[in-house]
Amino acid sequence: MGTIGLAVIGAGYWGPNLVRNAQATPGLRLRYLCDLDADRARRVLGEYSTVAVSDSLDEVLADPSVDAVAIATPAATHLPVAMAALEAGKHVLVEKPLAATYAEGRQLVEAADRRGLTLMLDHTYCYTAAVQHLRDLVRGGGIGSVQYLDSVRINLGLVQPDVDVLWDLAPHDLSIFLSILPEGVQPIAVAAHGSDPIGAGRACVAHLTIELTGGAMAHVHVNWLSPTKVRTMIIGGSARTVVFDDLNPAQRVAIYDRGVDRKEAGEVGAGERAQTLISYRTGDMVAPALPEKEALRSVMAEFHASITESRPPLTDGRSGLQVLSILEAASASLAQGGAFLPILGGEFAASNTDSSTEGANA
């Protein structure tokens, strides 16, 4: 397979971005834009486009020139749309979340496995130059052992009619965490707290606390009600600490040789006080030069490479399942007043993690 025939399903908010990047990706040929509102699809494509418009998913899936689909429809429709595509023998790229529930997501992963088809999540942040640099740094031991992760994603955002702020915003942070965490470090339990100060009927402000294997902890703060927009993540390590500020194009990643060290008991003199067990390290800050490129273009390139090379993509279906397993446990915790609950399904979700790391820099 050299050229992949692609259909984009959904011409709403995200669909036009998929269309634009698919048309600009070597090896992909956009054949259809499918939407229940055919007029909207035509407006997206423009008057002179040769891409076909259809309001029938069945018509698109029946066309042998379509090898793959990119789905940008509401989350509640991901299971039937993606399953229909897989059953028709099409490779699938789907927007986050993979499905509305972990059980539905698992159905899709198993269906793709049975047919030997690519199932990929559009976890766009994982394909930014900044997150790929973080991944190489953290997994390569550049910050030492991971001690904590702390992420803030707040803005004056659109209050969604069908999901709370956790399901709307936290998947971005969770997908980044899962992408950069070293092998063997996995989420094992989560506690969630949230509030609905405007009476929207769902949490508009929320905090996640995630326990990781090895004793490290991750924290996510998401908020639809903040008058200022913040997109900051801190990854603390035993050797260095990294700050990722997605809103600072001049310095998206800063690596600090600063932190706290603990002396072993044998290193402390008899006359020294107990507090001398702790010492503070103050070193340099380095801000690596990173290329500016559209992450969605890399998503499309990875989708093409995964299909043509018959390998799992970086953000395969199992990575989507891991995100769903955390979100479902978080929702249950929120309903129980913030109790720590185990994250279920991790073994199945993570069983293919290692094989999906190839092609991360597509």
Second CATH level (architecture) for the domain 4-123+295-315:
3-Layer(aba) Sandwich (3.40)
User: What was the pLDDT predicted at 360?
Assistant: 40
pLDDT in tens, 128-162: 999 999 999 999 999 999 999 999 999 998 888 88
User: What was the pLDDT predicted at 355?
Assistant: 39
Task: Look at residue 164 and tell me whether its pLDDT is greater than 80.
Answer: yes
Task: Look at residue 353 and tell me whether its pLDDT is greater than 50.
Answer: no
Task: Compute the average pLDDT of residues 68-80.
Answer: 94
Question: At the topology level of CATH, where does 127-286 sit?
Answer: Dihydrodipicolinate Reductase; domain 2 (3.30.360)
User: What was the pLDDT predicted at 361?
Assistant: 41
Residue 361 and residue 131 in contact, taking contact as beta carbons nearer than 8 Å: no
User: What was the pLDDT predicted at 260?
Assistant: 73
Task: Compute the average pLDDT of residues 229-246.
Answer: 96
Radius of gyration of the chain (CA): 22
pTM of the model: 0.86
What does the DSSP 8-state code read for residue 12?
Answer: S
Band the pLDDT of 266: cuts 50, 70, 90. low
Contacts of 95 (CB under 8 A, 6+ apart): 14, 71, 72, 73, 75, 78, 121, 122
pLDDT in tens, 108-125: 999 999 999 999 999 999
Q: What type of residue is 59?
A: E
Domains 4-123+295-315 and 127-286 share a fold: no
User: What was the pLDDT predicted at 274?
Assistant: 52
Closest CA to 150 of 220, 215, 244, 211: 220
**Domain coordinates in residue numbering, the chain:** 4-123+295-315, 127-286
